[in-house]
A = this chain, B = another copy of it.
């Protein structure tokens, strides 16, 4: 059986208090005592039981990361950075997937499921604004929203300027001389924040350029996977007057779009230019390489972990919003360099 604090105390002929002190690195302990305890720990191969510690202190040292699906490259890359950043703050990370399931999302969000298991939650979901508004702000669990919601002052928030990012992407297409720019990624359900913001940016960029917004060029995508981009693009190309450029609301949609263009016997970027958003590694090796709006995932991850750590330490502090920078990366899919 594993040795306990008590065993160590007995073995070292000291009180549990003293052992606890040296283990926690805390209070003042005389060198003699410390040495005695340390050798006892060594001899018994003692390891503190984190569960007991948690029950006592209320801290688990665990963060929950909630994402739609961990195998979406953007979220995988985000998870990687977050796990590393969390480790630097002494936290481990549990990954939960909502799988686009609203019920599951609400469950995770309202905390019905995570009592006492986590010190905080990093939430990067697809929640609708309605759901977010309905939420009980009474929730005692520190929560940081990741990505792309509207900041309403109730929750910490690490985001990008979605409207601007989308507008920048479209402006890039326009600057390359394209005139019929389609968009893929609008949600059938208008209540999601992210797609709506991106649509707003898309429409704004067109208007600024004096171009009309054609409803037929704005395509929905249920999820943000390659297959959805492929399907939507195929539909776009079948139009009587097809687009000469496509702005996809995610890089993964764009990868599907590119493949669809070639399968239709056309070329990227010559016939159709394609730009995405996220800057996943895949797009730096694909043929053509993918132009995109880069999101600085490491920054988002570091900032998110720093925020949640701060909030855990100081729960009663006003919510802050951090806006991560974004940059347009011109690559081959819009006629740029590799």
A residues near B (Cβ < 8 Å) are: 2, 47-52, 54-55, 60, 62, 69-71, 73, 76-77, 79-80, 83-84, 92-97, 99, 112, 115-117, 226, 230, 255-256, 258-259, 262-263, 281-282, 284-287, 338
Contact = CB atoms under 8 A, between A and B. Distances in A.
A80 B95 CA distance: 9
Nearest to A229: B285
A69 B62 contact: no
Contact of A259 (B60, B80, B117, B285): B285
A73 B84 CA distance: 18
Contacts of A256: 285
22 contacts: A2-B115, A48-B115, A49-B55, A49-B115, A50-B117, A51-B51, A51-B60, A51-B117, A69-B80, A70-B70, A71-B73, A71-B77, A71-B80, A73-B76, A79-B95, A84-B99, A226-B285, A230-B285, A255-B282, A259-B287, A286-B286, A287-B287
Contacts of A93: 94-95
Nearest to A83: B97
Nearest to A282: B282
A70 B76 contact: yes
A64 B96 CA distance: 13
Given A47-B112, A69-B80, A258-B287, 15 more contacts: A2-B116, A48-B115, A49-B115, A49-B116, A51-B60, A52-B55, A70-B76, A73-B73, A73-B76, A84-B99, A92-B96, A92-B117, A95-B95, A226-B281, A256-B285
A96 to B, nearest CB: 7
Contact of A51 (B54, B80, B99): B54
Contacts of A96: 83, 92
A283 to B, nearest CB: 11
Contacts of A230: 285
A112 B50 CA distance: 12
Contacts of A97: 80, 83-84
Tell me which of A47, A84, A93, A116 has the highest count of chain B C-beta atoms within 10 A of its own C-beta. Answer: A116
Nearest to A262: B287
Nearest to A72: B76
Nearest to A140: B2
A60 B61 CA distance: 14
Nearest to A92: B94
A233 to B, nearest CB: 11
A95 B83 contact: yes
Contacts of A95: 79, 83, 93-95
B51 A55 contact: yes
Contacts of A286: 255, 259, 286-287
Contact of A115 (B47, B71, B258): B47
Contacts of A287: 258-259, 262, 286-287
A51 to B, nearest CB: 5
